[in-house]
Structure 1
């Protein structure tokens, strides 16, 4: 997982990073990367290449910080956002659907206020995270944990000793076997090839003569003879 922080004041950054470290260690044994930035422009560059942000604390006292918060929300829909603000900015600017903050810290900051907001925010995040595992597919990697909703997944593909997950224009990979995956996925996922498992809800058309499946997003997934009978029975 990744904890992301922007704050122009070194003493605040240092304490919030420590507080985040303590909270994550308390709630989880997962490895976490801590990315802390003084300038929003540096943070923006990181966001463009970062594959995942789990929890972010963002200073929104100027427009660049507010735009950064919106960028995080747009790219990382499940990220938990904590905003840092003061009386110079109207709450109407940051308490919006395009930001959807889960926590708020107002300046002047105190250790007590940071502790309180971080404790509530991290507890809320991890409670939601582990509850959502029932409806989401969990990817574990050296970068941390990523939850992908089963409803978003189009198919899984086995290639080069890895599993690639295709979900609504995004792709993730992890290490597993396609045989093991077929045993653990929910009922709606069907083996259609020695290297592919498809989400039956995403199938638009089954073409038995061409040995292919057409998906709703116009992707084409191969179908092998050994799975034809099962697919024919499933889709009629």
Structure 2
């Protein structure tokens, strides 16, 4: 099930994209929640409590007279959630080349001037792409963690380790190509998947991706050069996990 967020400050345009999405959901029985619509960027960011490939954003670029506000919001979304899908819906097609500078990896750039048929086709394409991407990540044997505050879904084989965050009530997930921080405790993560191993009070590792153990310093090492501590009490248990 994908979540859809719309950032648009014009009422008519809000209705246009909302109606297009609802019509598509009904017509094609798409696995989507009803879209959430915002005219205030800060309120939208505060409402986003999940992260992962099931998150889809339709963003206007000009918000309340600020010509590149949507690009700034897209950059913030991307920094929080590398797997989200971002689509710009705007009259400002001249900003298209600038999106590369912002490194937001937008899926599409939909011009509001398109006729209704073409507009709906592009919106539908973005939704179907997100659903397909979600299906792919699920088929890759995902790690899924969900609470009232957080939903995280990543391919299990990408996980290196989790560590406690300096921010209270948060943990940091390190994968092969990203780092994400979210609300959870190390104890919660330990219970979430028995393939993981808690090797220290502050660290949980994916044994599949441990390439070496430094026996002298008691550190588990990964292919990207990162490492995490192993407590003396957990050392033998991790060795047994690796041998299996």
TM-score greater than 0.5 by the shorter chain: yes
Residue matched to 2:105: 100
Q: Does 1:231 align with 2:239?
A: yes
Alignment deviations for residues 131-171 of structure 1 (CA, whole Å, 9 cap, x no partner):
112153223455785322432440499xxxxxx78433524
Q: How far off is 1:105 after superposition?
A: 1.6
Q: Which residue of 1 aligns with 2:142?
A: 136
Aligned residue among 189, 192, 205 for 1:198: 205
Mind listing any 5+ residue stretches in structure 2 that lack a counterpart?
165-170
Q: CA deviation at 1:93?
A: 1.9
- CA distance, structure 2, for counterparts of residue 222 and residue 173 of structure 1: 22
Matched ranges for 1:141-160 at <5 A: 141=147, 146-150=152-156, 151-155=158-162
Once the two structures are TM-superposed, the CA of residue 192 in structure 1 deviates from its matched residue by: 5.1
Asked if the contact 2:203/2:228 (under 8 Å) is kept, the reply is no
Quote the residue 1:59 is aligned against: 60
TM-score between the two structures when normalised by the length of structure 1:
0.68
One of 40, 43, 50 as aligned partner of 2:48? 50
Structure 1 vs Structure 2 CA RMSD: 4.2
Q: SS of the counterpart of 2:154?
A: strand
Runs of 5+ unmatched residues, structure 1 = 158-163
Aligned length: 218
Query: Which residue in 1 is equivalent to 2:9?
Result: 8
Distance in 2 (alpha carbons) for counterparts of 1:222 and 1:18? 56
Distance 1:91 1:156 in 2: 38
State the 1:124 CA deviation: 0.9
Distance 1:52 1:218 in 2: 27
The alpha carbon displacement at 1:181 in A equals 2.5
Distance verdict in 2 for CA 1:146–1:15, change over 3 Å: farther
